[in-house]
Homo-oligomer: A and B are copies of this chain.
């Protein structure tokens, strides 16, 4: 078995497949460039609920249910749920996907959470511990602003380096290749990230805080597999935004890697910067998760992209540590997703 590769990567001999996926987003995301690709657009940011948190939980649960429906699967066929969100104590998950009564592993990797969930999902299936698992992550603009920044009613001005938290969720059924009814794409390898801290302190510039983690994980992946950017049709970060992308490209360039043609950032795709006033781009667990399901995965399914490195990034920001003057460490998890012939 050549499963363990280098210092932080795994290669799957029998790659698990993504059997089904779904995305649910809010109104603003529905009005963006990818609007027509999402499975469901909630016109009401409250989803008819009493609180934003309940709305996020509802969307997360909807994404899971839709992913099951699209795969013609019952929830009883899912052995484990790998789920997370941005909120303290993962309440969007506890009251969201957690309600599905599937054995649950709660995960926190900030906006990288769907990467962490896909890594553990693939390991669980490849290890023979499950035929099918479900990976899901969500975020909501209003719950995140309330959690991390200012009350919305305060109407604070946002610098151009700031990102706009995506209201949405993406869910993925990851399955054993022989048990799956169909396979959309296969997960062939993963690279697990480390917490990376270069001393960033600006919560309004999360892209710059996260870029070193993206760099660390991509560079590690290249080293572990003795490969480079030429092996991929796209290297896709989650929510670096414009500022973070520039930093990542600069860091990679110093190592002799030119990512300018192959790099894509979900946060820069999901909104139209000019007309939607989202500044550096979209962010949040839901950004990478919903864009992967609605846009990226479809390109891999059709074969337009044969092989991608999906690297969602997370800024491990908390108001408590931030108010205590701490830095913002970050993390990124790499998932290699390939077209199935």
B-facing mask of A40-65, CB < 8 A → 1, else 0? 00000000001101100000000000
A330, chain B: closest CB distance, angstroms: 9
Is A317 at the interface (CB under 8 A from chain B)? yes
Bound-state Cα–Cα, A109 to B108, Å: 10
By the criterion CB–CB under 8 Å, are A108 and B110 in contact?
Answer: no
Partner of A94 from B87, B91, B321, B324 at Cβ < 8 Å: B321
Q: Is A329 an interface residue (CB 8 A)?
A: yes
**Do B127 and A128 have beta carbons less than 8 Å apart?**
yes
Contacts of A227 in B (CB 8 A): none
Is B192 touching A91 in the complex (CB atoms < 8 A)? no
Q: Which of A26-34, A96-104, A237-245 contacts B (4 or more CB under 8 A)?
A: A96-104
Q: How far is the CA of A74 from the CA of B3 in the complex (A)?
A: 22
Instruction: Determine if B123 and A316 form an interchain contact, defined as CB atoms under 8 angstroms apart.
Output: no
**Nearest chain B CB to A80 CB, angstrom units:** 6
Taking a contact as CB atoms under 8 Å apart, the answer to whether B4 and A129 are in contact is yes
Contact residue among B10, B50, B108 (Cβ-Cβ distance under 8 Å from A84): B108
The answer to whether the Cβ of A276 comes within 8 Å of any Cβ in the partner chain is: no
Q: Which residues of B contact A7 (CB under 8 A)?
A: 103
A88 in the interface (beta carbon within 8 A)? yes
Residue ID in chain B nearest A318 by CB atoms: B89
Q: How far is the CB of A321 from chain B (nearest CB, A)?
A: 5
Would you give the 0/1 interface string for A84-127, flagging 1 where the beta carbon is closer than 8 Å to chain B?
10111111001100110111111111100000100110011011
A115-151 vs B, CB cutoff 8 Å, 1 = contact: the mask equals 0100110011011111000000000000000110000
Q: Check if A192 sits within 8 Å of B103, measured CB to CB.
A: yes
Contact of A123 among B88, B123, B318, B326 (CB under 8 A): B123
Q: Is A127 touching B130 in the complex (CB atoms < 8 A)?
A: no
Q: Let me know if A18 is at the binding interface, CB within 8 A.
A: no
The answer on a CB contact under 8 Å between B324 and A3 is no
Contact, CB under 8 Å: B116 / A106: yes
Cβ of B88 and Cβ of A88 under 8 Å apart?
yes
Q: Are A53 and B320 in contact (CB under 8 A)?
A: yes
The 9 closest A-B pairs by CB, nearest first: A127-B127, A88-B88, A98-B195, A103-B192, A89-B318, A94-B316, A106-B108, A8-B103, A91-B321
Q: 6 A-B Cβ contacts within 8 A?
A: A8-B79, A8-B103, A80-B192, A88-B318, A89-B110, A105-B107
11 further A-B pairs in the complex, CB-CB below 8 A; given A88-B147, A89-B110, A104-B331: A3-B128, A53-B320, A87-B88, A88-B89, A88-B320, A89-B316, A89-B321, A94-B195, A95-B326, A95-B329, A106-B107
